[in-house]
Amino acid sequence: MTFPVVGMVGGGQLARMTHEAGIPLGLKFKLLSDTPQDSAAQVVSEVVIGDYRDLDTLRAFARGCDVITFDHEHVPTEHLRALEADGIPVRPGPDALVHAQDKGVMRARLAEIGAPCPRNRIVSDPADAAAFAEEAGGFPVILKTVRGGYDGKGVWVVRSEADAADPFRAGVPVLAEEKVDFVRELAANIVRSPHGQAVAYPVVESIQVDGVCDTVIAPAPDLSEELAGEAQQLALRIAAELDVVGHLAVELFETRDGRILVNELAMRPHNSGHWTQDGAITSQFANHVRAVLDLPLGDPRPRAPWTVMCNVLGGDFPDMYQAYLHCMARDPQLKIHMYGKDVKPGRKVGHVNTYGDDLADVRERARHAADYLRGTITE
């Protein structure tokens, strides 16, 4: 029996952890990476170094792969259509993935299917942004480049027309959105297979610091069963309407008046699902692999009442390995996941997961470990 070859475009930590999830299944991975130093390129045995934006490179990489999937959403849509025309399964496919690549396309399609979103429209210049602000009830408003932004990049909080010049300097379309009065950010993570089977993970709370995910709490504390169910059903409906195959993260705002609004979509394993590595029966990475190969999906239920994930960001303490002695001795149940990246200030270089019965204790353990690894605390 020949096991399938999964082709992963992108060599970041998501590819690294997806490869890890495929090892127990005996799957073969082939990686298209920018450099040999990329996170996944350090651990995958078959690595092709090349530019994912070059169609010939993509075609050569895809030969011998049974399916192509992604570490990021940046591969040009027309290149993915060419791979499909060559007979290579691409999952998620280009018709779905474009909604994670282009925020304008996403907002238009979500409006068509009646998904709740912040008020929004494409704007042409600072004066048009000011006109949108008036329509939305006044400044501040949010401006986003429709392509390429992540972790707070390509996003501006604009408080006046004069403040709105920067987003237009790149010469790309700009999406304006109302600034939502929300109490917290949530994420609904689901996985869907080609034949339509789908599973939903518990809805989580995602805490951002300076536009970067800092902490994820699973499940979201004090979230009503009704709103949690609504969020899961919304994510499942979006996946079905957009024909998503693989993992879909629907980032949400919980508003002060008790509603949920769709903020962003990601069609790949996502930071808000990292807790599933240790806190769920089947991780987001394992289920993504199962989905793109059209295997039966695994159980998404949590293993413990609470799981907390904290990202480990780079700081002024480059030798994180020295911190292992303290962290592991202090908390033998702690799970550390490092990405093999050079430590740079503010860079995601790993994450920790903790779990247990008492939320306050679980949060403190995760926060302490992440801060100790970073070097912001020393005891």
Residue 14, burial from CB neighbour count under 10 angstroms (0-12, 13-18, 19+):
buried
Find out whether 226 is annotated in a ligand binding site.
no
Find out whether 112 is annotated in a ligand binding site.
no
Cα of 255 vs its chain's centroid, Å: 21
Which of 96, 25, 31 has its CA nearest to residue 62?
31
Give the CA distances from residue 185 to residues 68, 98, 251, in Å, rounded to whole numbers and listed in that order. Answer: 31, 23, 7
Burial string for 33-53 (b: 16+ CB within 10 Å, else e) reads beeeebbbbebbeebbebebe
What does the DSSP assignment read for 220-249?
A: PTT--HHHHHHHHHHHHHHHHHHT--EEEE
d(CA 101, CA 212): 19
Find out whether 161 is annotated in a ligand binding site.
no
Which of 205, 181, 186, 188 has its CA nearest to residue 255?
181
Find out whether 353 is annotated in a ligand binding site.
no
Do the bridges between strand 306-313 and strand 212-218 make them parallel or antiparallel, or are there none, so unpaired? antiparallel
Find out whether 178 is annotated in a ligand binding site.
yes
Which of 189, 193, 202, 188 has its CA nearest to residue 303?
202
Q: Which neighbouring-strand residues pair with 6? A: 29, 67
Q: Which residues contact 198 (CB under 8 A, 6 or more apart)?
A: 190, 191, 192, 236, 239, 240, 297
Find out whether 264 is annotated in a ligand binding site.
yes
Find out whether 179 is annotated in a ligand binding site.
yes
Which own/partner contact pairs does 337-342 have at CB distance under 8 Å and 24+ positions apart? 337/17, 337/274, 337/277, 338/312, 339/12, 339/13, 339/16, 339/39, 340/16, 340/39, 340/42, 340/43, 341/13, 341/39, 341/314, 342/318
Q: Binding-site residues for ATP, please? A: 103, 144, 177-180, 185, 263-264
Q: Binding-site residues, please? A: 103, 144, 177-180, 185, 263-264
